[in-house]
Structures are given as C-alpha cells and as structure tokens.
Amino acid sequence: MSVVSEGDTIIVPRNVHKSITAGIILSGAIPVYMQPELDKKLGIAQGVTPETVEETLRQNPHAKAVLIINPTYYGVATELKRIADIVHEYDIPLIVDEAHGPHLAFNEKLPMCAMEAGADLCAQSTHKIIGAMTQASLLHVRTKYVSQSRVQAIMNLLQTTSPSYLLLASLDTSRKQIALEGEELLDKAIENAEYARAEINKIPGFYCFGKEILGNPGVFALDPTKICITCRDLGITGFDLDMILSNKYHIQMELSDLYNVLAVGSFGDTRENLDTLISALKEISEEYMDKNAVKPDFIDIPAIPKQVLIPREAFNGYKESVLLEDSIGEVSGEFLMAYPPGIPVLCPGEVITEEIVKYVGDLKKTGLYVQGTEDPKVESIKVVIR
Ligand SMILES: Cc1ncc(COP(=O)(O)O)c(C=O)c1O
C-alpha cells in the first residue's frame, strides 16, 4: 500500500501470502503474477528466477513495484541481488517478503538478506524464527522510492492506536539477542540441522533435500536450518506423518503438505530434541516402509487465466455459487488452490477456463488436493455477477 495506489500495477509471485492479497485489495492495485519454479519431485514451489522478473518487467514496463518472497517457507532462496538490480533498472522499488528470513543477516552461512541484496522495503516475521513473541514483526525501509512518512501513514491506517508494549519489548529483546549472540546461536542451529538432515537421509523412505538441489530452477541458496522431510517413498502423506509425529510421539512439526513435513531447526532446539525426532522417524520407517503405496506426481498447472476484474472489484462484487462444470467463462470470486504445490489456479477476478475445470477434475481423480473455495469439496465455485 506504500508503493501502489488504485490502478497501479504491482508484480508479485503467484503464490503470495494472503497478507499481500489483502494489501492488493485494500490499495485497489492491479496484480501481475509471476509463476515460481516448481519442483515436481518435492511437490513444492521454489523461488522466482531473475529471468522471470526480467521478462515480466519487459512485458509490464509501467509497473510501479515488484514483490518477491525470499526465502520460501522451505528455506529456498533465489538470486535476490540480481533481481534487485533488474528491478532498479526500471527505477521502481523491490519489496521483499522475508517472513521466513529475519535471521539471515546474522550468519554468513545463510543466504544473503533482503536489505543487503538491495531491497527497498522488507517485512520480517521476527516471531517466526528469532525470539520475539507471536505477532511481532519488523518492516525495514531504506529507499529513495517511498518516503518513510508515507509508510508510517499506511501503518497508521492499518494498525491499532494502542500498540502492545509486551510485543514491542519482545522485539527489542530479540533484536538484542540476535545482534549480540546471533552468529554463535545460528552456528549451533545450522550444525544441529545439518546433523539431523544427514541422519534422516540414512533412514529408508525419507529424504531431506540439501546442497545437491542448488542450481535447480529457482534454487540459488539454501537456509540449512529448515529441515524438509519428504516421505513420498514411504507411502504415507506428509499430513499422515505430521499426525503420527504429533499423536504418537508428541512432536509438533511446523507444517505438512502432501509429500513433506517441515521442521524449523531454530536456536531453541537441542541435539536431544533432534535425536527424539530422528528416532521417531526410524520407528515410523520400519512400520510403514514397503507398503507399496505409490504417490502420484503433481500435474502441471494450467496457464494463468485472464484477469478481467481487479481483486478489489472481485472482492466487493456480488457473487453467486455455481457448479464448477457450469462456471466456464464466468469470473471467479474466489481463490482455487492446487496442492501440491500450493499455487492458485484461479484468483478472484480471473476468467474460469475449460482447461481449469478439466484440471480440477484430473486432480481429484488422481487423489491430489484442490481447495480454497467456500465449498470444501470444490464442486461449486462463487462467481462474480456483472
Ligand atoms: C511468506 C509469508 N509471508 C507473510 C506471512 C505473514 O506473516 P505474519 O503471520 O507474521 O503476519 C507468512 C506467514 O505465514 C508467510 O508465510
């Protein structure tokens, strides 16, 4: 909202967090989407490449800003410095959603942080990775493109006038901790996570990606503290594994998807914690290995459909529910997400195509997931009545 107003174009990845969609709706901006690189084996989206940013800007030279998510939830970083240089050639700001990277600046073994790469604005969920309390975040601003007073005015529009001093104090203490002890604490976290990765990779049925995927599309650098445990070969889903770890072993994972569970190896974890996880995984491997349950690859997602209404118009428009097979040619009033890899097939304001309706049918037949609509079975979808 600091960088775009009504009718301005902002270039964003297709898989942005809903907080960014909210900003787009509130500002009345026009989003132009970039597809991140997809890893079919892992079933996750990696980063957006500099080439994609370059091409999208070439096609949309009037854009007012570019936003990049870096690193991803799974700890994969793109070549941010090159992206910053490309964006600045157009004399517009680069915003980085660094929700999962507030620790990057404090250890050289981690990918380059957004502000060092040349970002103009960068939001970090300080509460997620370093020591602040839940909700406490930081917004960094260092730019010639937006005035600090504009950013402050927008914050005043969106935030309470009664800030929590508990949260502010927790931000200060976590800043102090990461500034004074961060390098050492993160060295320990990285060492522990690398140990866990190596041990888990010895267990039949599990795979934790590491340096070997560097250089794959959208994978420029890795945050080793993220431990993504792929359980495809075990014949259970990531959701199953999440529940087994929680119910039987009382281990809470960060997230799960069809093929993976994610552990965040923070500096709050100890070697003993990780050994508990590793021995649980060994037992699970013995119990479930060789049951021959084959997991399907995810199906390529259809091309991004035409946007005829901006997200704000679609959000405010009058909507009716129609059967998915009757919705071809209508304008979607909802998101429709394909899992894996957790990317919208449809965003509000986009035209529903025959290809998309067929794709949803194929996903369901294959046992993959599609969700996002108010109807949990995705048999009907809300469309905007114009
Ligand atoms: C990529 C990304 N951006 C933004 C956010 C929002 O951060 P917060 O929950 O701190 O508001 C999240 C939260 O999960 C996220 O994953």
> Strands of 336-339's sheet, edge to edge?
343-346, 336-339, 369-371
**Residues 323 and 195 occupy one common structural domain:** no
Joined together, the tokens standing for residue 5 give 């107003």
Structure tokens at 21: 């969609």
- Whose Cα sits closest to atom 8 in ligand 1? 125
> pLDDT band at residue 341, thresholds of 50, 70 and 90?
confident
The position carrying tokens 């964003």 is 12
Give the tens place of pLDDT for each residue, 148-200. 999 999 999 999 999 999 999 999 999 999 999 999 999 999 999 999 999 99
Residue to mutate (ligand 1; options 16, 128, 257; most atoms within 8 A of CB): 128
pLDDT at residue 363 tops 90: no
Ligand 1 centroid – CA 328 distance (Å): 33
The pLDDT value given to residue 85? 98
Q: Are residues 71 and 145 in the same domain?
A: yes
Encoded amino acid at 81, one letter: K
Residue 246 belongs to a domain with what CATH number? 3.90.1150.150
Q: Are residues 105 and 217 in the same domain?
A: no
Distance from C-alpha of 191 to C-alpha of 197, rounded to nearest angstrom: 10
Mean per-residue pLDDT, 80-84: 98
In terms of domains, do 101 and 136 share one?
yes
For residue 20, the CA-to-ligand 1 centroid distance in Å is: 9
Regarding the beta carbon of 22 and ligand 1, being less than 6 Å apart is answered no
Range of the domain at 226: 183-288
Q: Which atom of ligand 1 is least distant from the CA of 16?
A: 1
Q: Give domain status of residue 131, yes or no.
A: yes
CATH assignment of the domain containing 364: 3.90.100.10
> What CATH number did the domain enclosing 130 receive?
3.40.640.10
Handedness of CA 340, 214, 140, 187 (dihedral sign): positive
> How many whole angstroms from 70 Cα to the centroid of ligand 1?
11
Is the CB of 17 within 6 Å of ligand 1?
Answer: yes
pLDDT of residue 195: 98
Q: Does the CB atom of residue 125 touch ligand 1 within 6 A?
A: yes
pLDDT tens-place string over residues 265-316:
999 999 999 999 999 999 999 999 866 666 667 778 899 999 999 999 999 9
Ligand 1 geometric centre to CA of 23 (Å): 13
Position 328 pLDDT exceeds 90: yes
Q: How far is CA 334 from CA 130, 165, 326, 331, in A?
A: 34, 37, 15, 9
4 falls within a domain: no
CA–CA distances in Å: residue 252 to residues 121, 244, 276, 339, 380: 33, 10, 12, 22, 34
Helix spans in the chain (H): 18-27, 50-59, 80-89, 114-117, 126-129, 148-158, 165-200, 238-247, 271-288, 311-316, 354-366
148 Cβ closer than 6 Å to some ligand 1 atom: no
pLDDT of residue 235: 86
Residues 381, 305: Cα–Cα separation, whole Å? 16
pTM of the model: 0.95
- For residues 244 and 115, give the distance between their C-alpha atoms in angstroms, rounded to a whole number: 40
Report the percent of the chain where pLDDT is more than 90. Answer: 88
CB 10 within 8 A of CB 32: yes
